[in-house]
């Protein structure tokens, strides 16, 4: 028996593994271009958040129909890929359905479950294609979704449909060969769904059936490996990053903004309050806020790579709903694109972060970040706990504290808050005069 197919399989598997290793290394390096941040506290709560939000898809079900369809694909992805283990063993050993003799009738039941999930994926993917291209759901038609993002979403759905057809075709021809008693093909307990397409192949010769079955087998396993590589270039990277992303979620109350340590320490020194910071001055003065990705934390950059581009954040954003240019989804896409640009420059021996560009200005405008109301609607809406507001606030701090570039009305408000402890320009001692006035009117 020729071992050429096994050698070819090893070569393909090794090449896919190497490409995946290089891509994962690239993404990991890009994420850690961000500043250090430690989020390992409250591990029990973090495990619970990850299980509920990433694994249980808790926040998806705020919109039931797409959530249910997504759940079908999600379950199918987790369950059907168990069969990939058998594919790999068969590919390495030259066997065929190696688990069938060990599992007996249970193997046929498992195959029926896989086929049912394959049909569920087919239906769900068709429904999603209709939602995007026929119904044109508004959040999928925003400006940032033009070009590659729209193509990426459609392409991944088409790939999933083709892979599911490959499974059904493989099983249909496999069982026809088993019924004819062809060597090494095992007859299973009636495969319900693939049997529906068996008539398409019933009049073919054994040689033709074997060729189609083998093509479908190779197409499926190579497709799975190719899909795994493609995911690292796609918004579907969230399939894997959703789990660490939800683990490292911000567990503080959503209304609580993170103070800047540098400013807090200075204020404490002015008030004579002991600071936990080191008595030694920093070797280099840090930047206030964020201008580029290296000013953000690595969690912020990981958030960007975890973005599903579903647009739920943008569809809930009050600024976007009133016609402002701000789109929280675009903010995350811009951070990811900038990280990719810097990473590619570094790999090519280029200037990296010193390329004369920056996240603020070249990707994200002041008009966008100034439109944010800090309401946290985007954070609440995100199905994988991404925090666009954190990035927006850090860039606004840079504009305010490094460039003094905030709008004039804002500067007046800031000054009032500093001197009068309120946005309005009147003395703190007069703050409750309105109450006395109301009380006197009631007496009259």
Annotate 108-174 with DSSP letters as a single string. HHHHHHHHHHHHHHHHHHHHHHHHHHTS--GGGSSGGGTTHHHHHHHHHHHHHHHHHHHHHHHHHHH
Q: What letter does residue 259 receive in the DSSP assignment?
A: P
- Residue 66 CB neighbour total at 10 angstroms: 18
Mean pLDDT by 10 residues, the chain (444 residues): 85 96 97 94 95 93 91 89 87 90 88 93 96 94 94 94 93 93 85 93 94 94 93 93 96 86 78 64 69 96 96 96 96 97 96 95 96 95 96 95 87 84 79 75 67
Q: Give the pLDDT score at 369.
A: 96
Q: Give the pLDDT score at 152.
A: 94
Cα separation, 145 vs 319, whole angstroms = 18
Q: What are phi and psi of 342, to 5 degrees?
A: -65, -40
Taking only the tens place, the pLDDT of each residue in 140-154 is 999 999 999 999 999
For 197, 405, 412, the CA distances from 399, given in Å and listed in that order, are: 62, 5, 15
Cα separation, 11 vs 59, whole angstroms = 41
Contact 377, 316 (CB under 8 A): yes
Q: Give the pLDDT score at 285.
A: 56
Q: Give the pLDDT score at 386.
A: 97
Q: Please, which residues bridge with residue 364 across strands?
A: 360
Cα separation, 34 vs 339, whole angstroms = 9
Taking only the tens place, the pLDDT of each residue in 286-305 is 788 999 999 999 999 999 99
- DSSP per-residue codes, 238-306: HHHHHHHHHHT---S-TTPPPPPHHHHHHHHHHHT---SS-SSPPSSPPPSS-SSGGGSBHHHHHHHHH
Q: Give the pLDDT score at 282.
A: 53
* CATH level 3 topology of 286-428: Fumarate Reductase Iron-sulfur Protein; Chain B, domain 2 (1.10.1060)
- pTM of the complete model: 0.88
Q: Note the Cα 182 to chain centre separation in Å.
A: 46
Q: Note the Cα 81 to chain centre separation in Å.
A: 20
Q: Give the pLDDT score at 37.
A: 92
Three-state SS at 348 = coil
Cα separation, 106 vs 111, whole angstroms = 9
Three-state SS at 67 = helix
Torsion of CA 90, 95, 101, 102, to 10 degrees: -40
Structure tokens at 74: 């999600």
Contact 271, 377 (CB under 8 A): no
For 50, 177, 180, 200, the CA distances from 197, given in Å and listed in that order, are: 40, 14, 17, 6
Three-state SS at 383 = coil
Q: Give the pLDDT score at 82.
A: 80
Cα angle: 81, vertex 82, 88; to 5 degrees: 85
Domain ranges of the chain: 4-31+63-247, 286-428
């Amino acid at each position: 028996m020729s071992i050429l197919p096994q050698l070819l399989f090893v070569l393909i598997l090794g090449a896919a593994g190497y490409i995946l290793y290089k891509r994962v290394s690239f993404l990991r390096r890009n994420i850690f271009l961000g500043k250090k941040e430690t989020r390992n506290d409250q591990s029990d709560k973090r495990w619970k958040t990850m299980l509920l939000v990433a694994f249980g898809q808790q926040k998806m079900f705020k919109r039931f129909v797409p959530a249910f369809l997504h759940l079908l694909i999600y379950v199918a992805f987790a369950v059907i890929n168990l069969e990939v283990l058998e594919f790999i063993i068969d590919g390495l050993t030259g066997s065929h359905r190696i688990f069938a003799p060990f599992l007996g009738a249970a193997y046929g039941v498992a195959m029926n479950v896989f086929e049912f999930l394959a049909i569920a994926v087919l239906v769900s993917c068709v429904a999603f294609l209709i939602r995007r291209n026929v119904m044109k759901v508004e959040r999928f038609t925003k400006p940032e979704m033009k070009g590659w993002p729209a193509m990426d979403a459609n392409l991944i759905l088409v790939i999933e449909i083709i892979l599911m057809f490959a499974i059904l075709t493989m099983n249909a021809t496999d069982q026809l060969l088993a019924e004819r008693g062809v060597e090494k093909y095992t007859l299973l307990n009636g495969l319900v769904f693939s049997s529906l397409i068996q008539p398409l192949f019933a009049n073919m010769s054994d040689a033709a059936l074997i060729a189609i079955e083998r093509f479908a087998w190779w197409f499926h396993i190579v497709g799975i490996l190719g899909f795994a590589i493609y995911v690292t270039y796609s918004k579907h990277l969230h399939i894997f990053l959703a789990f660490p992303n939800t683990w490292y979620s911000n567990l503080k109350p959503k209304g609580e903004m993170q103070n800047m340590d540098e400013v807090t320490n200075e204020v404490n020194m002015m008030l004579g309050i002991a600071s936990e910071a080191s008595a030694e001055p920093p070797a280099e003065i840090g930047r206030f806020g964020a201008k580029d990705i290296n000013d953000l934390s690595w969690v912020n950059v990981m958030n960007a790579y975890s973005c599903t581009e579903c647009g739920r954040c943008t569809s809930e954003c009050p600024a976007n709903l009133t016609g402002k240019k701000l789109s929280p989804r675009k903010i995350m896409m811009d951070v990811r694109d900038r990280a990719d640009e810097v990473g590619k420059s570094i790999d090519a021996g280029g200037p990296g972060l010193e390329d004369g560009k920056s996240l603020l200005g070249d990707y994200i405008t002041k008009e966008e970040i100034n439109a944010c109301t800090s309401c946290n609607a985007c954070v609440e809406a995100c199905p994988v706990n991404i925090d666009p507001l954190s990035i927006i606030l850090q860039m606004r701090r840079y504009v305010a504290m490094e460039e003094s570039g905030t709008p004039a009305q804002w500067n007046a408000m800031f000054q009032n808050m500093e001197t009068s402890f309120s946005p309005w320009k009147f003395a703190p001692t007069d703050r409750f005069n309105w109450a006395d006035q109301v009380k006197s009117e009631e007496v009259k």
